[in-house]
Structure 1
Amino acid sequence: MELLKEPRELPSPTHEVIVVLEEVHLAVDHIDTTPRSHEIISYHRIAKADEIRCRIQCASIVIATQAVITAESLGEAPYLRKTVILHNEIRTVDESGDNSWKRQHSLALKMQTANGHPPCSIEDEIVGIIGYGHIGKRLEIFCKALGMEVLVSERKGTGPARSVNERITKRTPFNEVIKKATVLFISCISNKSTRNMIDKAELSAMRPEAIIVNVSRGNVINTEEVIKALRDQRISGAAADVFDQEPASTEEDSAFLAESTKDLNLTFSPHVGYFSTKTVVTMKQMVREQIRNFVNGDFRKFGA
C-alpha cells in the first residue's frame, strides 16, 4: 500500500489540492487553476475504499479513473463537501482577528435545516430527479452509489413518458417526488409545459429539509417564489447553474442576485455544468454532422 502523502497547504479560497488516485491510468500535469494556486498529490493506484477514504480527506479536487467513489470510500471529505456559508464564516474576521466561530464557540447550528433539525445523514437523503435524460441518469448513478434513495419523477400532470430506447425505470408521481425529496435535482428541458414548473404550490408542499438544485434552465423555477420559501424557512437551500437572463450579474438578470439574498443559503455557478472534455468533443461532432447534413441537403436530420 502506498504511503499517505500530506499536502503542503490545505485547500482554501486561494489554493486547491488535487488528488490523483490512479496515476497508472492517467498522469495529470499542466493544470491551470489561475488565480488560485494548486498542488497535485498523485498515487500509482489506489482502489480499496479505506485507502481512498484516507487519501481524499485533504482534497478539494479528486481525479478517479476506475476507482469507485461510494459512501464508504468518500468518508467525511470536508473539502469536497464544504458549504459556502461555513467557509465564509471562517474566513471573515473582525478588526480583532476573530471570526464568528471564535466568537460563538460553535457554528454547528448553521447547518440546521429550515425546521431547526440537523442535516440528514447521507443514507436518509431522498433524491428527486425531474428530467431523466443524460444528466438525470448520471445523477441517479452517483446518488445511488452514495447510498441515497432516488425517485425518478413522472412528467408533471401527464404521467410517465419514455422513448422507445429508454431502459425501463420505475417512475414516481411528480407530486409525490415534490413531497418526499430532501434534494431535488431539476434537469429537464425548457418549454411551455415546464415554465415555472416549480412554483408556489410545489414549494409549499416540499419538506423543510429540501434543497433545490437547478441545472436545467432558469425559467423552469419561479425564482422569486424560491427566495420567499427560503426567507420563510419553508425549504433549506437552493443551488443554480442557470439563470433567467444570462450572463447574469444583477437582480435585473435574476432575482437570485439581489443584494437582499446574500444571507440566504444560495449557491451559484455561471452555467458551466455542461463543460467537460466529453461534451466539448460531442458538440464539435454535432456541428460537423449538421454541416454534412446541410451540404447533402438532408434537412430532415436538423433538430428543432
Structure 2
Amino acid sequence: MAHSTNPNHLIIVALETFFVPVPKFDLPAPYTYELREYSRTRPDQVAERIGDADIIIMTVLPVRADVLRPEVSPRLKMVSVVASGTDSVDLAACRDRGIVVANTPHCNAVSVAEHALALYFAARRSVALSHTLVQAGRWPQSGTLQKALDGPDGKPPRTCREETLGIVGYGGVGKVLAATAKGLGMKVLIAGRKGSTASEGRTAFDTLIRESSVIVLCLPRSPETLNLISKAELEAMKPYAVIVNVSRGGIVDEKALVEALKARKIAGYGTDVYEQEPASAENSLLVGPDIADLNVVTTPHVAWCASDTIANYNRATKENIEGWLSTGQPKYPVV
C-alpha cells in the first residue's frame, strides 16, 4: 500500500471489528485519518495489515514483538486495545520503541459482574448438569433428579443468604460484584495478594480460599497470577465451594480443577475463559464428553457482551485516540 506523505494524515487499522464496531473519530486539527477495517485477523495476517499503520485497534489478537519491529511496522505509534486486559500485546516491545498502548478499563464491569452471578447461580443449582440429565431421559428413569443438585457434602444447594463470597480481583468488576452480592444477602470477602499480608479491608488469600463458599476470579492475567488456583488451593476449599472464573484462562489450573471435580472436592465450576481459546475438545479439558457428568458451566468468553459495554468501549476508544493526539497522553494509558 502506498504510504501517505502527509504526517498529519493517519492510517488507523482496526483488526477485529467483529467484537466491537469502530466509532467515528473527531480528531483535533490538523489531523485527518483513513480507517481500514477487518472483521477478523489471523496472527499470520497482522504484519501485512499493519505495515503502514500509525494506529492499530485490536481486542485479543496477539500483537507480538515480531510485528512490532521497525522494519515491519515503521509508522506505528499507538496500539489501542478494546479490552481491559493487555496480555496479548508485547508491552516491553512497545515500550522499547516508544509506542503508546492504551486500554479501555471498566467498560464491561456491569456486564461481567452480572455474568459472574449468572455462572454462580447456574453452578450452585447445577443448571447445566440438570439440563443434560433431563435431555438424556434420566428423569423418568430415576423418578427424581433432586440429588443432582446436592454438593459433595451431600446437602442441597445453599441460598445466597448462606453464602460467603470471596472476590479475587477488586477492580471495576469486583466492586460491582461486591455491591450486587451484598444486596442478595451474601457475606463478601475481598482477597489480599497471594503470599502477602492482607491490608485493612482485605482478607488474607489463603484464609479467603478456606472460608469462602463461592470464589469469583476477576483479576488480570500476569506471570504472578498464572495457576493462582491449583491443587493446593482446591484441596483447601470447602466441599460445597463453587468457583467462577471471568478473568483470563490460565489463572485456574484446568487439570487440577477437573481432578478436584471428579474427586468431589468442590461442588462446581462456572467459567467464561479457558487456557486455550477458542476452547474445544481437542485443546481443553473443560469441553467434551469427559465432563458431561460434572457440575461445570461453560460460556464462550462473552461475559463482556452487552449493549452498554459496546457504547462504553466506543467512548473510551475515542477518548484514548483523540486525547493522545490532543495532549500526547491517552485517557487510559498502559505504556
In the alignment, structure 2 segments of 5+ residues that lack a partner are 1-120
Q: Amino acid of the residue matched to residue 287 of structure 1?
A: T
Percent identity for Structure 1 against Structure 2:
33
Q: Amino acid of the residue matched to residue 276 of structure 1?
A: A
Which one of the candidate residues 269, 294, 303 is aligned to 2:299? 269
Which one of the candidate residues 148, 151, 154 is aligned to 1:110? 148
Which one of the candidate residues 273, 284, 299 is aligned to 2:314? 284
Is 1:181 matched with 2:212?
Answer: yes
Secondary structure at the aligned position of 1:103 is classed as helix
Query: Per the alignment, do residues 300 and 82 of structure 1 end up closer, same or farther by CA in structure 2, a change over 3 Å counting?
Result: closer
| Structure 1 partner of 2:30 | none
RMSD after superposition:
2.3
Q: Distance in 1 between matches of 2:131 and 2:289?
A: 20
| Structure 2 partner of 1:219 | 250
| Structure 1 partner of 2:264 | 233
| Structure 2 partner of 1:248 | 279
Q: Normalization by structure 2: what TM-score? A: 0.59
Q: Distance in 2 between matches of 1:245 and 1:174?
A: 26
8 Å Cα contact 2:245/2:270 also seen in 1: yes
In the alignment, structure 1 segments of 5+ residues that lack a partner are 1-76, 94-99, 162-168
Report the CA distance between 1:88 and its aligned residue: 2.6
Q: Amino acid of the residue matched to residue 172 of structure 2?
A: H
Greater relative contact order (Cα 8 A, min sep 6): structure 1 or 2? 2
Report the CA distance between 1:147 and its aligned residue: 1.0
8 Å Cα contact 2:170/2:190 also seen in 1: yes
Q: Distance in 2 between matches of 1:298 and 1:204?
A: 50
Which one of the candidate residues 200, 208, 216 is aligned to 2:239? 208
Q: Amino acid of the residue matched to residue 257 of structure 1?
A: V
Secondary structure at the aligned position of 1:172 is classed as coil
Q: Distance in 2 between matches of 1:221 and 1:82?
A: 20
Report the CA distance between 1:122 and its aligned residue: 2.6
Q: Amino acid of the residue matched to residue 91 of structure 1?
A: Q
- Range moving further from structure 2, 212-221 or 149-158: 149-158
- Structure-to-structure mapping, 1:155-174, within 5 angstroms: 155-160=193-198, 170-174=201-205
| Structure 2 partner of 1:53 | none
Post-superposition Cα deviations, 1:141-169, rounded to whole Å, max 9, x if no partner, equal 121111111111111112347xxxxxxx7
| Structure 2 partner of 1:92 | 136
- Structure-to-structure mapping, 1:283-302, within 5 angstroms: 283-296=313-326, 298-299=328-329, 302=333
Q: Distance in 2 between matches of 1:91 and 1:292?
A: 52
Secondary structure at the aligned position of 2:316 is classed as helix
| Structure 1 partner of 2:161 | 123
